[in-house]
Amino acid sequence: MANEGLDTAISGEYELGFEIDIETDIIEPGLDIDTLKFISKKKEEPEWMLDLRIKALKKWETMTEPHWGKLDYTPIDYQSISYFAAPKEQIDSLDEVDPKILEAYEKLGISLDEQKQLAGVKVAVDAVVDSVSVKTTYSEELEKHGVIFCSISEAIRDYPELVKKYMFSVVPMADNYFAALNSAVFTDGTFVYIPKGVRCPMELSTYFRINAMNTGQFERTLIIADEGSHVSYNEGCSAPTRDDHQLHAAVVELVILKDAEIKYSTIQNWYPGDETGKGGIYNFVTKRAICEGENAKVSWTQVETGSAITWKYPSCILKGDNSVGEFYSVAVTTLAQQADTGTKMIHIGKNTKSTIISKGISAMKGQNTYRGLVKINSSAVGARNYSECDSLLIGSECGAHTFPYLESKDTQGQVEHEATTSKISDEQLFYLRQRGITEEDAVSMIVHGFCKQVFSQLPMEYAVEAKALLELTLEGSVG
Amino acid sequence: MSIMKIENLEAKIGDKNILKGLNLELEAGKVHAIMGPNGAGKSTLSKTIVGHYDVEITGGDITYKGKSIKDMEPEERALEGIFLSFQHPVEIPGVNNAYFLRTALNAKLKYEGKEELNAAEFLRAMKKHLEMLGMKSDMISRSLNEGFSGGEKKRNEILQMLILEPEVIILDEIDSGLDIDALRQVSEGINKMKDGKRTFLVITHYSRILDYIEPDYIHVLKDGKVIKTAGPELVPYLEEHGYDGIKED
């Protein structure tokens, strides 16, 4: 299909690739115990935290980088990365946050000014630039409800008991190579605690921005939903367009107690690199939730459009009886992007239920892999799982792969798996064009139709953002 | 007055030459029926007019309102007022029918510099069409053509025609797969658009539909060419003698 406009629009469409022009405190590249001491001191951490970091580093040094993913990338030199970078003049009051950072966040569509937020839906934001949280909004208002919403650094200082109890409880320190690295060097991230019986009065969100060069981002997020509570949390991210790869290795731990619910949504838009595979974020992330109590519920929804490499399997440990785990995912790979993503559903409690809806979209030279595990322990009597993995191919150079794994020790468990692979057919495009719809609009209409089950899980305003992002990502991928 | 003129049109699909110097003139406001045996090139003709990707034009020209359209993008031809009711409408999963219809209508309104309709205005405008076509209102909240029966698909094509109000309407085997009730309702929809200004090109190889939509002209297509043009009186003759008995004009 000849359309010059489309051909020229193919790459360089990453709109968030700007750099915030601020002075940055950055340490020399390299990783040893002194690095950890430096980070810990910068964060004014108690001694016990530094000890844990050192323990993690020692474990990490004995481990090897995993390569079972269907991913092909140049080896990462961990000694050439700088593990701490922070905008200078880090302060607390909004008036004192560097106006350039505020401006940058406005550009990303996020207001850090509580007064300026549009009437209607309030969204509390934790803004993280490189290694530090620069601002957390609505903390005071949330405090009135007993909700703690702050950076993880603050939580380590102010709520050590909660942190000691739950950090590493879902993702153990040496769970895997990247998690161990994160445990040693994590810099900032978000901490949330929702007390018993409280329904969090507003959407919570964190926006991660990598800005400095040659750094990695290693954030750590911990969310605890106490009995009968409810929270909806959203994360977003972006990074400047750079020729080098940057490493992002995060850990997210969710703890859901009896009758509580966490809805966790991600719109991942790290810089994807160019069409030859130059630049882009290496995204190695460990996300896991544990439904500790009866009737606990967790729902992961992710829209993954960015990163050169994505290695990510948000998982649910369904320990409480009748607990529910859900995973809704749209992963897009275009340009030379590679994604190996999916989920793990571990059924332990009785009558536990899980749902997996995965939609992979590949265009240009993108490679998209779904890798998922459904494990039903013998204790999980009456467990049920439904999985649906659909792939959509645009063009002929891309690829889609599906690796569903099933381990069932309960012969009565019900497991259903469906998988489809389809192409946007010329016939579908032509039909829409014959009705006066442009080729690009026709592609996005078909893609939205494909993603509908997942987008419908996102909070309204994020669903709108996700649609727009998808359109932008796939702009020009038909040609 | 002629609205579309096809001159010495030669076209191929793959390596196969199908249209071999076809001439046809469509008179504005009239109903033209194209009849002919299987393989004569009827569907290729309709595909060529709307710019289908299968077809390569190797000679001749198609002019619409005095302008050549053979190099226009399909969507531009559509926005200019050329509509094809597909013989086999394709299914598009997850795309809401109403959303699709409104997007198509708004694309056209925008092209014409008119104000676009919001969802409520659009639904109001649709209601009467649905009733006339005997379509249940849940048809428009389903995914486009997905799981539709043959009759539902054809009704949905006619619904699009009624909403988009095109100027040249090509109906490719509109009656295939329709039972008698559906045929009546679909014909009613078509006849409603017959206002003396819109032009129809009805492609069929049975005469059944022509009992419902009265044609002004019959063109007989054979081996990639129009070999005869006559009035509706040709229909009973064709029924009796078939296409073999037709002498080239």
Contact A428 B92 (CB under 8 A): yes
At A92 the pLDDT is 52
| CA–CA min distance B142, chain A (Å) | 11
Contact A428 B79 (CB under 8 A): no
Q: Name the residue type at position A132.
A: V
At A6 the pLDDT is 27
Q: Which one has a higher pLDDT value, B177 or A301?
A: A301
A452 touches chain B (CB under 8 A): yes
Q: How far apart are CA B167 and CA B173, in angstroms?
A: 19
Q: How far apart are CA A103 and CA A16, in angstroms?
A: 13
Pick the closest to residue A368 from A428, A450, A453, A298 (CA basis). Answer: A450
pLDDT digits (tens, 9 = 90+) for A65-101: 999 889 898 889 999 999 988 877 655 544 567 777 7
Once rounded to an integer, what is the mean pLDDT over residues A451-475? 82
pLDDT at B41 over 70: yes
Q: Between the CA of residue A377 and those of A137, A289, A349, A374, A384, what are the distances in Å?
A: 42, 17, 8, 10, 12
pLDDT digits (tens, 9 = 90+) for A39-66: 999 999 999 999 999 999 999 999 999 9
pLDDT digits (tens, 9 = 90+) for B42-60: 999 999 999 999 999 999 9
| CA–CA min distance B136, chain A (Å) | 22
At A180 the pLDDT is 97
Q: Are strands A85-87 and A24-26 parallel, antiparallel or unpaired?
A: antiparallel
Contact A437 B74 (CB under 8 A): no
ipTM: 0.96
Say whether B129 sits in a helix, a strand or coil. Answer: helix
Q: Which one has a higher pLDDT value, A173 or A24?
A: A173
At A115 the pLDDT is 62
Check: CB of residue A400 under 8 Å from CB of residue A421. yes
Nearest to B52 among A3, A430, A432 (CB): A430
Q: How many structural domains compose chain B?
A: 1
At A444 the pLDDT is 83
A445 touches chain B (CB under 8 A): yes
How would residue A411 be classed by pLDDT, with cut points 50, 70 and 90?
Answer: low
pLDDT digits (tens, 9 = 90+) for A303-327: 988 888 899 999 999 999 999 999 9
How would residue A1 be classed by pLDDT, with cut points 50, 70 and 90?
Answer: very low
Instruction: Specify the CATH number for the domain of residue B140.
Output: 3.40.50.300
Say which range, A361-370, B103-112, B224-233, has the weakest mean pLDDT: A361-370
pLDDT at B103 over 90: yes
Q: Name the residue type at position B47.
A: K
- The encoded tokens of residue A22 equal 């601020």
Q: Which one has a higher pLDDT value, B78 or A416?
A: B78
pLDDT digits (tens, 9 = 90+) for B208-225: 888 899 999 999 999 999
- The encoded tokens of residue B232 equal 């509706």
Q: What's the DSSP call for residue A416? A: E
Say which range, A79-88, A121-130, B143-152, has the weakest mean pLDDT: A121-130
Which residues fall within 8 angstroms of residue A282, CB to CB, at 6 or more apart? A73, A76, A245, A246, A247, A248, A307, A308, A309
pLDDT digits (tens, 9 = 90+) for B221-248: 999 999 999 999 998 888 888 888 787 7
Check: CB of residue A151 under 8 Å from CB of residue A44. no
Q: How far apart are CA A297 and CA A256, in angstroms?
A: 7
Q: How far apart are CA A162 and CA A154, in angstroms?
A: 12
At A383 the pLDDT is 95
Once rounded to an integer, what is the mean pLDDT over residues B73-86? 97
At A268 the pLDDT is 85
Say whether A49 sits in a helix, a strand or coil. Answer: helix
Pick the closest to residue A285 from A359, A406, A189, A215 (CA basis). Answer: A189
* Strand ranges of the sheet holding B55-64, from the earlier edge strand across to the other edge: B16-27, B2-13, B55-64, B67-68
At A327 the pLDDT is 96
pTM: 0.82
Once rounded to an integer, what is the mean pLDDT over residues A434-438? 96
pLDDT digits (tens, 9 = 90+) for A159-213: 999 999 999 999 999 999 999 999 999 998 899 999 999 999 998 988 888 878 7
Q: How far apart are CA A50 and CA A442, in angstroms?
A: 54
List the single best residue of A330, A418, A422, A432 to mutate versus B (max B Cβ within 10 A).
Answer: A432
- The encoded tokens of residue A167 equal 């950090």
Q: Which one has a higher pLDDT value, A479 or B112?
A: B112
- What is the span of the domain harbouring residue B112? 2-245
Q: How far apart are CA B155 and CA B80, in angstroms?
A: 23
pLDDT at A425 over 50: yes
Angle at A360 between CA A318 and CA B153, to 5 degrees: 110
Q: Between the CA of residue B217 and those of B20, B35, B65, B200, what are the distances in Å?
A: 21, 11, 20, 10
Q: Which one has a higher pLDDT value, A240 or A332?
A: A332
Check: CB of residue B103 under 8 Å from CB of residue A441. yes
How would residue A428 be classed by pLDDT, with cut points 50, 70 and 90?
Answer: very high
Q: How far apart are CA A298 and CA A223, in angstroms?
A: 12
Q: How many CA atoms lie within 13 A of A396 on its CB side?
A: 1
Q: Which chain A residue lies closest to B111 (C-alpha atoms)?
A: A436
pLDDT at A233 over 90: yes
Check: CB of residue A362 under 8 Å from CB of residue A334. yes
Which residues fall within 8 angstroms of residue A71, CB to CB, at 6 or more apart? A309, A311, A338, A340
Torsion of the alpha carbons at B214, B218, B220 and B226, rounded to the nearest 10: -130
At B88 the pLDDT is 93
Give me the phi and psi of A225, to 5 degrees please. Answer: -105, 110
Question: Residue B96: its chain A contacts at CB < 8 A?
Answer: 449
At A477 the pLDDT is 65
| CA–CA min distance A389, chain B (Å) | 15
pLDDT at A387 over 90: yes
| CA–CA min distance B5, chain A (Å) | 20
At A11 the pLDDT is 34
Average pLDDT, chain B: 92
Q: Name the residue type at position A479.
A: G
A421 touches chain B (CB under 8 A): no
- The encoded tokens of residue A39 equal 């980070």
Cα-only R_g, chain A? 22
